[in-house]
Amino acid sequence: MNAKERILQLRELLDHHNHLYYVLAQPEISDFEYDRLMQELRDLEEQHPEMADPGSPSQRVGSDTDSSFVQVKHMYPMLSLDNTYTREEIEDFDARVRKALPAKKIEYVCELKYDGVSISLIYENGKLVKAVTRGDGEKGDDVTANVRTIRSIPLTLKTGNYPAVFEIRGEIYLPHKGFEKMNEERAEAGEPLFANPRNAASGTLKIRNSSLVAKRPLDCFLYYLPAEYPGFATHFDSITAARDWGLKVPPYIRKCHSLPEIFDFIAYWDNNRDALPFDIDGIVVKVNAYRQQQLLGFTAKSPRWAIAYKFKAREAVTKLLSIDYQVGRTGAITPVANLEPVLLAGTTVKRASLHNADQIALLDVRLGDDVIIEKGGEIIPKITGVKTENRLPDSRPVEFITVCPECGTSLIRIAGEAKHYCPNEIGCPPQIKGKLLHFVGRKAMDIGCAEATVEQFYNHGLLKDPSDFYSLSKEKLIKLERFADKSADNLLKSIEDSKQVPFERVLYSIGIRYVGETVAKKLASHFRSVDELMAATTDDLIQVGEIGDVIASSVVDFFSNSVNRAFIEKLKTAGVQMSSEGKKRTSDKLAGKSFVISGVFKQHSRDEIQKLIEENGGRNLSSVSSNTDYVVAGDGMGPAKREKAAKLEIPVITEEEFMGMVGEGIKKPG
């Protein structure tokens, strides 16, 4: 057999084992053997680039290139299903169907309603060519690159009698196990957790780097073939055929001929859904015969031949024993109820969220009350009501705490915000730990230090503020439990590397309230060094585009605090990048000059002009004032600005004149 034949043989073999493993969950060979075959295929494909095929089972790893999602129009609009919540509504649905199809025998198919993200797949000549999200129902995002990494979606179908071109729809979801693993990894990395598997699946599908998607254990069930001429008599036949072509069609499906059979199916899954390894939020009833579906047709929003029955959120009643108050990283206080343990949806619940003081007052929940708890899609259940009839006569409304349970500082409540805050940013332990974790985060200084390690350092008094990372030494580290020579070296290297992190990210890492990544970038390019930023007044700050009162005062407050200033000094001494000076600046031609740009330009975008101003040492301001040296005016500059500039006698220059100042000839079109 030559290499070419072996490649084709390996592809077929791997497709077969992939199907056994990911679609049928019945592997016949070991992981080791599978990996060995895959490696052989990869090696041969590398030696024979002329044999490249996007449908090859080796093409599942995704790519690092940023994939922006192009909008694609659906062949058939992606509609939703009407939701129902009661038996009566299912009876009404059945009555409507029978009325529209008098004297006909009706067969229904009952299926599970998978709680994920809907997807449309297009196969051409047995190859997956497109995967599109639902979007607005008319057009969705082309997420083919991401979907190709999902192992249970075949890139190449098994040989079979499939149409040359067809569409199949289904639901992409994350099984519970994969979801938990993903959240554990996020917790380790100090990243925010996903509230539930659906959010995690939808977030993952939107990642613009498919090689990252390939690492997440997404899965997919396919449940519907939309078609004008389906080539099958029934929906059931169509998905059974799709299963034979190698597609993952779920087995939880039943033909029903009467309402009692439908209700049985509903009751069965309402009772047993917790045993499934993925989330469902109801069941779907579909008229089976395609001919009957066509007679029933669609409303503007949904098919008349199908309906969803949504399960009720599971509730339980238990006693409220006490309330704890948790202090978050930003100082926000969250009341958490301690409950008498109760079984709910397969897990024992001991705690529930109470959100904030308003929520407690609204529910009028009191210690010792019998409370109703509900598990929705979120990780932690919530209290939704109180059985006031069981209330003890001497119960009193809850008095929300007035001081921080961690540091004793009086709490404040900012107008318009529901939460109470502990304002002791620099002395309150959970807030300090939060800042430390924020500092090491991937988007911040990217220091490879897990949450548990940060906690350990803090508890040993090694870290009081993030600048203390730079005073850690090998001697100090190896004295600690769980620290060996190698792990100490790795951490110290990672800390050393962080000294190269650019100023804009340092500014984000410092953890000034409201200074996120974008604001940090803006501030860093405007002020260029921490010293300049510290000297800025609220007015100076507001001059920077898109910086408003709240951010400006937050920055000024931060730097007016001597503890924070000492912290900044320590970072400087450690050698962390505290300025972008010398980084991008190409000349001093505009040094000391402030510009306001306005209108639309012919040869450059506003961003390009702003960049040129900064690169040549000038400053961008957002509004015309006596601090402005020049206004660069394009088409459509507002009359108010022009008037103000005239009044203050500020020169208004054209794009060409500006380019003359920075010594760049105007770009030639094209």
Q: Which residues are catalytic?
A: 113
Taking the least distance from each CB to ligand IVH, the nearer of 295 and 574 is 295
Taking the least distance from each CB to ligand IVH, the nearer of 194 and 221 is 221
Query: Rounded distance, CA 301 to CA 78, Å?
Result: 9
Region from 43-51, 74-82, 193-201, 379-387 binding ligand IVH, contact rule CB under 6 A: 74-82
Neighbours of 452 (CB within 10 A): 11
Beta bridge partners of 141: 71
Region from 88-96, 109-117, 421-429, 647-655 binding ligand IVH, contact rule CB under 6 A: 109-117
Binding mask 246-285 for ligand IVH (x = CB under 6 A): --------------------------------------x-
Which residues in 19-48 contact ligand IVH (CB under 6 A)?
none
The DSSP string of 372-423 is EEEE-SSSS-EEEEE-GGG--TT--PPPPPSB-TTT-PBPB--TT-SS-B--
Choose which of 114, 245, 469, 558 interacts with ligand IVH (CB under 6 A).
114
Q: Can residue 140 be called a binding residue for ligand IVH (CB under 6 A)?
A: no
Q: Can residue 81 be called a binding residue for ligand IVH (CB under 6 A)?
A: yes
How far, in Å, are 96, 105, 241, 296 from residue 102 at the CA level?
10, 9, 29, 12
How far, in Å, are 188, 313, 327, 513 from residue 554 at the CA level?
29, 41, 20, 6
| CA 507 to chain CA centroid, nearest Å | 24
Choose which of 171, 219, 614, 655 interacts with ligand IVH (CB under 6 A).
171
Binding mask 484-523 for ligand IVH (x = CB under 6 A): ----------------------------------------
Residue 95 C-beta: closest distance to ligand IVH, Å: 21
Taking the least distance from each CB to ligand IVH, the nearer of 116 and 634 is 116
Beta bridge partners of 339: 320
Query: Rounded distance, CA 625 to CA 650, Å?
Result: 9
The answer to whether 350 touches 338, Cβ cutoff 8 Å, is yes
Taking the least distance from each CB to ligand IVH, the nearer of 198 and 438 is 198
- HEC profile of 529-598: EHHHHHHCCHHHHHCCCCCCHHHHHHHHHHHHCHHHHHHHHHHHHHCCCCECCCCCCCCCCCCCCEEEEE
Residue 269 C-beta: closest distance to ligand IVH, Å: 12
Taking the least distance from each CB to ligand IVH, the nearer of 226 and 434 is 226
- Output helix, strand, coil percentages for the chain, rounded to the nearest 5: 40, 20, 40
Q: Can residue 79 be called a binding residue for ligand IVH (CB under 6 A)?
A: yes
Q: Can residue 167 be called a binding residue for ligand IVH (CB under 6 A)?
A: no
Q: Can residue 93 be called a binding residue for ligand IVH (CB under 6 A)?
A: no
Residue 118 C-beta: closest distance to ligand IVH, Å: 3
Residue 304 C-beta: closest distance to ligand IVH, Å: 10
Residue 97 C-beta: closest distance to ligand IVH, Å: 15
Residue 581 C-beta: closest distance to ligand IVH, Å: 53
Q: Can residue 118 be called a binding residue for ligand IVH (CB under 6 A)?
A: yes
Residue 207 C-beta: closest distance to ligand IVH, Å: 20
Residue 552 C-beta: closest distance to ligand IVH, Å: 45
Q: How many residues bind ligand IVH (CB under 6 A)?
A: 13
Count of alpha carbons within 13 Å of 322, Cβ hemisphere only?
3
Q: Can residue 235 be called a binding residue for ligand IVH (CB under 6 A)?
A: no
Q: Can residue 178 be called a binding residue for ligand IVH (CB under 6 A)?
A: no
Region from 13-21, 75-83, 407-415, 482-490 binding ligand IVH, contact rule CB under 6 A: 75-83
Which residues in 281-300 contact ligand IVH (CB under 6 A)?
284
CB-based closest residue to ligand IVH? 118
Which residues in 385-424 contact ligand IVH (CB under 6 A)?
none
Surface-to-core class of residue 501, CB atoms within 10 Å of its CB (0-12 exposed, 13-18 middle, 19+ buried):
middle
Residue 224 C-beta: closest distance to ligand IVH, Å: 4
Residue 345, SS3?
A: coil
Edge-to-edge strands of the sheet including 280-287?
83-84, 306-310, 280-287, 108-114, 253-256
The DSSP string of 263-313 is HHHHHHHHHHGGGSSS-EEEEEEEE-BHHHHHHH-B-SSSBTTEEEEEPPP
Choose which of 39, 47, 65, 80 interacts with ligand IVH (CB under 6 A).
80
> Which ranges constitute the DSSP H helices of 57-101?
87-100
The DSSP string of 109-153 is EEEEEE-SEEEEEEEETTEEEEEEE-TTSSEEEB-HHHHTT-TTS
Question: For the packed helices 606-615 and 655-662, what is the interaxial angle rounded to 10 degrees?
Answer: 30
Region from 41-49, 110-118, 146-154, 258-266 binding ligand IVH, contact rule CB under 6 A: 110-118
Q: Can residue 111 be called a binding residue for ligand IVH (CB under 6 A)?
A: yes
Residue 607, SS3?
A: helix
Residue 451 C-beta: closest distance to ligand IVH, Å: 35
Region from 73-81, 86-94, 468-476, 492-500 binding ligand IVH, contact rule CB under 6 A: 73-81
How many residues in total does the chain contain?
A: 670
How far, in Å, are 12, 33, 34, 44, 664 from residue 9 at the CA level?
5, 15, 14, 12, 60
Taking the least distance from each CB to ligand IVH, the nearer of 308 and 631 is 308
Query: Rounded distance, CA 140 to CA 134, Å?
Result: 5
> Strands 306-310, 83-84: parallel, antiparallel or unpaired by DSSP?
parallel
Choose which of 93, 108, 123, 224 interacts with ligand IVH (CB under 6 A).
224
Residue 628 C-beta: closest distance to ligand IVH, Å: 53
Choose which of 162, 179, 223, 439 interacts with ligand IVH (CB under 6 A).
223
Query: Rounded distance, CA 171 to CA 219, Å?
Result: 8
Residue 83 C-beta: closest distance to ligand IVH, Å: 7
Neighbours of 73 (CB within 10 A): 10
Taking the least distance from each CB to ligand IVH, the nearer of 34 and 223 is 223
Choose which of 113, 419, 526, 641 interacts with ligand IVH (CB under 6 A).
113
The DSSP string of 231-267 is SSSBHHHHHHHHHHTT----S-EEEE-SHHHHHHHHH
Region from 111-119, 199-207, 413-421, 658-666 binding ligand IVH, contact rule CB under 6 A: 111-119
Q: Which pair of structure tokens corresponds to residue 401?
A: 């705490």
Instruction: Please list, residue by residue across 589-620, b when 16 or more beta carbons sit within 10 angstroms of its beta carbon and e when fewer do.
Output: ebeeebbbbbbebeebebeebbebbbbbbbbb
Taking the least distance from each CB to ligand IVH, the nearer of 297 and 376 is 297
Region from 76-84, 372-380, 416-424, 560-568 binding ligand IVH, contact rule CB under 6 A: 76-84
Choose which of 126, 303, 466, 511 interacts with ligand IVH (CB under 6 A).
303
Taking the least distance from each CB to ligand IVH, the nearer of 81 and 462 is 81
What number of helices (H) and strands (E) belong to the chain?
24, 20
Q: Can you give the binding site for ligand IVH, defined by CB under 6 A?
A: 79-81, 111, 113-114, 118, 171, 223-224, 284, 303, 308
